[in-house]
Structure 1
Amino acid sequence: MSHNKISVMILGNMKSLKKALITNILGKDLSVLTKKKILKNTEIYDDDTFEFTCTPDLSTTCDDIRELFSKNPNFDLCLLVVEDGFSTGNVQKQIKDLNKKTGKPREELTVVLPLRYKFTEYPFKFYTLEQVFSKLSKLLKDKQLMPTNRKKRKRPADTAEPQDGSKKKEKLTSTKVNLVLLGLAGTGKSASGNTILRKKHFVSKPSSNPVTTECQVEETEINDLHVRVIDTPDMFDDDTEPSVQEKYVKRCKELCESELCVFVLVMHVSRFTDGERDILKKLENTFGTKVKEQTVILFTRGDDLEEADMTLEDFLHSCQPGLKEIIEKCDNRCVLFENRSSSSDQVEKLMNTVSVVLKKTAKIQ
């Protein structure tokens, strides 16, 4: 642990949430940071002023966490990330277990409330994201890690709340983006497009034959961003005539116009087919070699995981090597949809991931 940086331990049960917190704090994608592994399930992310220790999930083991605390008991901040809809009792139990196994006083373990949670009373120490920023700013000042010529750190737009108490939505410099839904027939592209649009625009129904046979586009506004959702047929089916595939690709590119594009690769969470093993290569041949940098993987049928008592993180850890390779090449940008659910959280998570892609590929600050 570096004594010249602010050291922050990130605890919690979902790796994606822990990494999202680091991304929110820094306002940049983790791929640009120095990363090192010090224990089997523990990663450290560095920049010029911060050192984030991303710990293993609490639900699996505390051995690595115990060892981390025994070696480095003096972290500047220990943040416990909790999920939207968390149980107060479960959080109290996590804090109690951490205290017992690591010796860390309970009052030094701070819960980070999810976005849009109201400031209220909880039986444990907690911060809103705004308070996390304030605490880190104070630590930077105390350690004199902010020279006068240092640019002011930008906060992600949807984490800072206006003084009047209203909720400030995430904004991007870009005002329009194309979300291009790609994938094999039957994976749920059209249903996912309807979930994003919050209205049934695309035809989606059970069928043994492809339902979508033409590229279609519908538009909506999400967090002040003009979103064009482009639904596509299966452009990568080896049984489709090359001339038909070419027609699909040409029409898709025409619909993309000149706006920024994020490719949403839709896959069924409960199956990984032979046709999907080389799908990234097909994407590169169609849209260029940098398509991976603009791709988010959207897994459908989230209820299948729920029935198996699995989280998305559990699934990603245990999936087939071929699928894991695709995920890694897309920089682990994955979201889970249950298209029969009316929850807006899944769309919010997708758009947060889209925001990361846009900032990285278009250098939106």
Structure 2
Amino acid sequence: MFICTPDLGTPCDDISEFLSKNPHPDMCLFVVKKGFSTEQIWQQIHVLNEKTGKPTEEFKVVLPLGYEPKDFPFKSFTLEQLFNELDKVIELKQTTYTRSISSPQSEDQLDRIGKHTYTTVNVVLLGLAGTGKSASGNTILGRKHFVSKPSSNPVTTECQAEETEINDLHVRVIDTPDMFDDETEPSVRDKHVKRCKELYESELCVFVLVMHVSRFTDGERDILKKLENTFGTKVKEQTVILFTRGDDLEEADMTLEDFLHSCQPGLKEIIEKCNNRCVLFENRSSSSDQVEKLMNTVSTVLKKTAKID
């Protein structure tokens, strides 16, 4: 089904009305013509954000023929790329539908997550700005999707999601901005939390708390309390701690076990409350072993969650 909305200049709320009847479209396309102004398009996307409440990154700009994507502030696609994206959506829906009507899962699949069937497992990356959430998300995906670069300002400003298949398991990786900065306006923080919850909805979910292995800040000392206030008191049972910058330990000739044994008491307390579920990432490495370890830990969390349910 394609829904075509009126021009943005139309003095009516038809766009909001359409989306209220279809709150979860598979794709939101913003079609532009030749000679478009990047600044004007970006402003119009923000108008759509205000009218619909949908994050700016959900609007995919369809470029005119002859244009190629470049460093626009918005997501842009050629028609060929757009059809590839549509193919992915169709394939995902077919896979989900097949799983929902198929016979019981194989013993191996059931062993992954207890006796619960599934369509998607959500991996939600949380943590302070600069800890490497986006880079870790790209490592899990096996490709660069989330913007990750050195910066004195937060790079990720909206919740984003991308999906992949890992060991026959459909995984949705959700990257988030820093939702625990005390200087962030409560209304902005609430907006991020709401969007994050919309992305994982009622599906199986594991929270991955991303921390820099060589740095433990004052803002992280009470991060579990902030997590509980945001996602509920049982969040510790669904949390895995992911330490980034694994090369720092390698240079110090330390293993992860060495680090965990000698880390600060405040950090050790957080680790213990998360039942010592820790993995180490070096995001500049292409090794699949680190992702495998994370997913094994995620499976362990899902099994326990299924038993609790």
TM-score surpassing 0.5? yes
Contact 2:112 2:300 in 1 (8 A): no
Give 1:336 deviation, angstroms.
Answer: 0.1
Counterpart among 239, 245, 248 of residue 183 in structure 2: 239
The corresponding residue for 2:254 is 310
Contact 1:175 1:224 in 2 (8 A): no
Contact 2:123 2:207 in 1 (8 A): yes
Matched, 1:294 2:234: no
Percentage of pairs with the same residue: 90
The corresponding residue for 2:143 is 199
- Per-residue CA shift, 1:297-355, capped at 9, x if unaligned? 00000000000000000000000000000000000000000000000000000000000
Corresponding letter in the other structure for 1:216? Q
Counterpart among 179, 200, 205 of residue 256 in structure 1: 200
The corresponding residue for 1:321 is 265
Give 1:176 deviation, angstroms.
Answer: 1.5
The corresponding residue for 1:10 is none
Of the structure 1 ranges 204-213 and 253-262, higher mean CA displacement relative to structure 2 is found in 253-262
Counterpart among 218, 223, 227 of residue 283 in structure 1: 227
Output the CA distance in 1 between the equivalents of 2:108 and 2:285. 27
TM-score normalised by structure 1 residue count = 0.53
The corresponding residue for 2:160 is 216
Counterpart among 269, 278, 295 of residue 334 in structure 1: 278
Corresponding letter in the other structure for 1:183? G
Corresponding letter in the other structure for 2:243? F
Contact 1:171 1:225 in 2 (8 A): no
Output the CA distance in 2 between the equivalents of 1:352 and 1:221. 14
Output the CA distance in 1 between the equivalents of 2:303 and 2:112. 11
Contact 1:171 1:224 in 2 (8 A): no
Output the CA distance in 1 between the equivalents of 2:240 and 2:112. 19
Residue 129 of structure 2 aligns to a residue whose secondary structure is coil
Structure 1: 5+ residue runs without aligned partners?
1-155, 159-169
The corresponding residue for 1:118 is none
Larger CA Rg, structure 1 vs 2? 1
- Per-residue CA shift, 1:239-291, capped at 9, x if unaligned? 11111101110110111121011000000000000000000000000000000
Give 1:171 deviation, angstroms.
Answer: 4.8
Contact 1:171 1:223 in 2 (8 A): no
Contact 2:163 2:172 in 1 (8 A): yes
Contact 2:237 2:301 in 1 (8 A): yes
The corresponding residue for 1:134 is none
The corresponding residue for 1:353 is 297
Residue 362 of structure 1 aligns to a residue whose secondary structure is helix
Output the CA distance in 1 between the equivalents of 2:121 and 2:301. 11
Matched, 1:185 2:129: yes
Residue 205 of structure 1 aligns to a residue whose secondary structure is coil
Structure 2: 5+ residue runs without aligned partners?
1-106
CA-atom RMSD, angstroms?
1.9
Corresponding letter in the other structure for 1:186? G
Output the CA distance in 2 between the equivalents of 1:343 and 1:300. 14
Residue 245 of structure 1 aligns to a residue whose secondary structure is helix
Corresponding letter in the other structure for 1:204? S
Contact 1:298 1:337 in 2 (8 A): yes
- Per-residue CA shift, 1:39-86, capped at 9, x if unaligned? xxxxxxxxxxxxxxxxxxxxxxxxxxxxxxxxxxxxxxxxxxxxxxxx
Give 1:175 deviation, angstroms.
Answer: 3.7
Residue 270 of structure 1 aligns to a residue whose secondary structure is coil
TM-score normalised by structure 2 residue count = 0.63
Corresponding letter in the other structure for 2:238? Q
Contact 1:212 1:232 in 2 (8 A): yes
Contact 2:126 2:207 in 1 (8 A): yes
Output the CA distance in 2 between the equivalents of 1:351 and 1:174. 15
Output the CA distance in 1 between the equivalents of 2:112 and 2:264. 36
Output the CA distance in 2 between the equivalents of 1:272 and 1:171. 33
Residue 179 of structure 1 aligns to a residue whose secondary structure is strand
Contact 2:112 2:302 in 1 (8 A): no
Give 1:296 deviation, angstroms.
Answer: 0.1
Hey, which of these two has a bigger chunk of helix by percent? 2
The corresponding residue for 1:46 is none
Hey, which of these two has a bigger chunk of strand by percent? 1
The corresponding residue for 2:95 is none
Counterpart among 320, 331, 343 of residue 287 in structure 2: 343
The corresponding residue for 2:7 is none
